[in-house]
């Protein structure tokens, strides 16, 4: 059985074709600049040469057609006919309160997704475009929607409710949803395997530290709290997002700087985070390089970033009444030795003892604490595509 996994953004489409018998990636790639001049597809079938196809793509349907052509191409393809694709798994960002699990996509699901678009105006519309395009091109292939929010639907009300007038939750569904759920779930499952324990017996904190970043408290395999909220802006400081701030800053800034709500959204989402503090970059590699050249603001950006992660670890350990392991994943969590070291420094009181030799590692599954560390710290590369493919297979 082969599953095609699609992750559609507003102008991009990432894909992987996975053989579910072996869970091997048969081909992967990305279509970029969809609907913009200069669009192209970067495609690579496992064991074959990478190709770049420069071709105009006015919309997601055109992009999916080119991707499918790549997959069945005799020279750089991975399958001999589209009939080999048994199902398509779509990453969908926001499932609202309706979807606590992945679902087989039908007209009713699509209608509900349209409703959820209001909650994720940047993400859900392109996800839906991808779903509609696939439906037209592969009408007989079942499709599954896998939601970033679904895993966090197990949060108790005391975690997801904001201290706002309750009517606003009822009227607009203003509450914490949480994101990166597929990643948090995947790394938690891997961690349990690596520790040789059942998820049922573990209190875990998963740190997804990528361009966007979030932390989740996972007790007995269920998400009980997470740092992103109503939108992916809350919580940790990120590459360009501010994360937690005093909400009164927003109205103050609107008045002082004469900002519209759009200006403010842009400031908090695109100009803040470590980019905003450092003035250097949103990429931690650039910031770490600037720090080594003595850039004070870059150093301050990292200190703010690390402290926020540490604060959430402390809070979630308290919330769960204990902690068995902390898991680091995504771009920064998997690759930055410094980040793991700095975040875990001073957490000995939680039973965490980092082994700096073991921690000097990038991008592979490993335990980075000393053998006598009572709380373990793990590096687990995330694999959202595989998780989406597994859920798709399970449903069909
Ligand atoms: P992701 O969103 O998971 O792809 O993560 C992307 C981010 O990970 C980049 O913006 C970088 O800031 C960070 N990153 C990736 N590789 C490294 C590295 N070797 N050292 C430090 N940060 C890294």
Domains, the chain, in order of start with CATH, read 2-147 (3.30.420.40), 197-379 (3.30.420.40)
Instruction: Please give the structure tokens belonging to residue 384.
Output: 């959202």
Q: What is the pLDDT of residue 118?
A: 83
Q: State the distance from the centre of ligand 1 to the C-alpha of 185, rounded, in angstroms.
A: 20
Question: Does residue 341 carry a pLDDT above 90?
Answer: yes
Question: Does residue 355 carry a pLDDT above 90?
Answer: yes
Average pLDDT over residues 308-329: 98
Q: What is the pLDDT of residue 386?
A: 97
Cβ burial of 298 (10 Å; 0-12, 13-18, 19+) is buried
Ligand 1 atom, smallest distance to 286 CA: 12
Sign of CA dihedral 328, 192, 19, 181: negative
Q: What is the pLDDT of residue 231?
A: 93
Query: From residue 208, how far is each of 10, 29, 131 by CA, in Å?
Result: 22, 22, 26
Q: What is the pLDDT of residues 282-316, one digit of tens each?
A: 999 999 999 999 999 999 999 999 999 999 999 99
Question: Does residue 184 carry a pLDDT above 90?
Answer: yes
Threshold 0.75, pTM exceeds: yes
Query: From residue 262, how far is each of 14, 254, 276, 288 by CA, in Å?
Result: 28, 10, 18, 31
Q: State the distance from the centre of ligand 1 to the C-alpha of 285, rounded, in angstroms.
A: 7
Tell me how far apart the alpha carbons of residues 181 and 111 are, in angstroms, rounded to a whole number.
22
Query: From residue 310, how far is each of 286, 317, 322, 349 by CA, in Å?
Result: 22, 11, 15, 13
Closest protein CA for atom 9 of ligand 1: 283
Q: What is the pLDDT of residue 122?
A: 81
Ligand 1 atom, smallest distance to 362 CA: 19
Active-site annotation holder among 148, 246, 355, 357: 148
Q: What is the pLDDT of residue 133?
A: 92
Tell me how far apart the alpha carbons of residues 113 and 120 are, in angstroms, rounded to a whole number.
10
Q: State the distance from the centre of ligand 1 to the C-alpha of 333, rounded, in angstroms.
A: 8
Tell me how far apart the alpha carbons of residues 361 and 340 are, in angstroms, rounded to a whole number.
10
Tell me how far apart the alpha carbons of residues 273 and 238 are, in angstroms, rounded to a whole number.
5
Element (H, E) at 18: strand 13-19
Ligand 1: which residues within 6 Å by Cβ? 210-211, 239, 283-285, 288, 330-332, 335-336
Question: Does residue 115 carry a pLDDT above 90?
Answer: no
Residues forming beta bridges with residue 354, ordered by sequence position: 369
Tell me how far apart the alpha carbons of residues 56 and 134 are, in angstroms, rounded to a whole number.
18
Cα 135–Cα 119–Cα 32 angle in degrees, nearest 5: 50
- Is 59 annotated in some ligand binding site? no
Average pLDDT over residues 322-349: 97
Tell me how far apart the alpha carbons of residues 273 and 123 are, in angstroms, rounded to a whole number.
20
Pairing of strands 85-92, 143-147: parallel
Closest protein CA for atom 23 of ligand 1: 332
pLDDT bucket at 117, cuts 50 / 70 / 90: confident
- Is 208 annotated in some ligand binding site? yes
- Is 384 annotated in some ligand binding site? yes
* pLDDT over 70, % of the chain: 100
Residue 148 is classified by DSSP as: T
Q: What is the pLDDT of residue 116?
A: 86
Question: Does residue 123 carry a pLDDT above 90?
Answer: no
How many helices and strands in the chain, by DSSP H and E? Answer: 15, 14
- Is 212 annotated in some ligand binding site? yes
Cα 109–Cα 114–Cα 116 angle in degrees, nearest 5: 95
Average pLDDT over residues 352-368: 97
246 included as an active-site residue: no
Query: From residue 24, how far is each of 8, 78, 80, 86 by CA, in Å?
Result: 22, 12, 17, 15
Residues forming beta bridges with residue 29, ordered by sequence position: 15, 43
- Is 333 annotated in some ligand binding site? yes
pLDDT bucket at 80, cuts 50 / 70 / 90: very high
Instruction: Please give the structure tokens belonging to residue 332.
Output: 């920064």
Task: Find the largest Cα–Cα distance for the chain.
Answer: 62
Give the mean pLDDT of the chain: 96
Residue 83 is classified by DSSP as: G
Instruction: Please give the structure tokens belonging to residue 316.
Output: 């979630």
Q: State the distance from the centre of ligand 1 to the C-alpha of 364, rounded, in angstroms.
A: 14
Query: Of the residues 237, 288, 331, which should be mutated to test ligand 1's pocket, given the most ligand atoms within 8 Å of the CB?
Result: 331
Q: What is the pLDDT of residue 195?
A: 98
Q: State the distance from the centre of ligand 1 to the C-alpha of 331, rounded, in angstroms.
A: 4
Closest by Cα among 239, 395, 394, 255 to 332: 239
- Residues with Cβ within 8 Å of residue 10, at least 6 apart in sequence: 122, 125, 126
Q: What is the pLDDT of residue 54?
A: 95
Question: Does residue 324 carry a pLDDT above 90?
Answer: yes
Query: Of the residues 278, 335, 342, 380, which should be mutated to test ligand 1's pocket, given the most ligand atoms within 8 Å of the CB?
Result: 335
Query: From residue 35, how far is each of 9, 31, 52, 146, 155 by CA, in Å?
Result: 12, 11, 17, 25, 38
């Amino acid at each position: 059985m082969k599953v095609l996994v699609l992750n559609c953004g507003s102008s991009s489409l990432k894909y992987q074709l996975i053989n579910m018998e072996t869970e091997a990636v048969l081909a992967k790639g990305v279509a970029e600049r969809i609907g913009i001049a200069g669009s192209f597809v970067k495609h690579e079938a496992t064991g074959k040469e990478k190709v770049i196809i420069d071709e105009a793509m006015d919309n997601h349907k055109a992009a999916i057609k080119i991707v499918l052509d790549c997959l069945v191409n005799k020279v750089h393809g991975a399958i001999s006919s589209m009939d080999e694709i048994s199902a398509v798994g779509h990453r969908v960002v926001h499932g609202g309160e309706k979807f606590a699990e992945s679902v087989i996509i039908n007209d009713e699901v699509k209608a509900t997704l349209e409703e959820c678009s209001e909650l994720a105006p940047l993400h859900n519309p392109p996800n839906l475009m991808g779903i509609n395009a696939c439906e037209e091109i592969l009408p007989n292939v079942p499709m599954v929607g896998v939601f970033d929010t679904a895993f966090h639907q197990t949060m108790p009300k005391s975690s997801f409710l904001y201290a706002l007038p309750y009517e606003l939750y009822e009227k607009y569904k203003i509450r914490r949803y949480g994101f990166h759920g597929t990643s948090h779930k995947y790394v938690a499952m891997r961690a349990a395997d690596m520790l040789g324990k059942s998820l049922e017996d573990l209190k875990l904190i998963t740190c997804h530290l990528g361009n966007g970043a979030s932390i989740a408290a996972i007790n007995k395999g269920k998400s009980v709290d997470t740092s992103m909220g109503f939108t992916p802006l809350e919580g940790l400081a990120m590459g360009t997002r501010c994360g937690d701030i005093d909400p009164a800053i927003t109205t103050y800034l609107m008045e002082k700087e004469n900002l519209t709500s759009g200006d403010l959204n842009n400031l908090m989402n695109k100009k803040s985070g470590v980019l905003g503090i450092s003035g250097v970059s949103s990429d931690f590699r650039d910031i770490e390089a600037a720090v080594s050249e003595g850039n004070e603001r870059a150093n301050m950006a990292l200190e703010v970033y690390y402290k926020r992660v540490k604060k959430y670890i402390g809070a979630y350990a308290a919330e769960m009444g204990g902690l068995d392991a902390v898991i680091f994943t995504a771009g920064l969590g998997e690759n930055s030795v410094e980040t793991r070291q700095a975040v875990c420094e001073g957490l000995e009181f939680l039973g965490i003892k980092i082994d700096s030799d073991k921690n000097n590692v990038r991008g592979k599954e490993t335990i980075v604490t000393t053998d006598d560390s009572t709380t373990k710290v793990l590096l687990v590369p995330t694999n959202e595509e595989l998780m989406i493919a597994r859920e798709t297979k399970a449903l069909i």
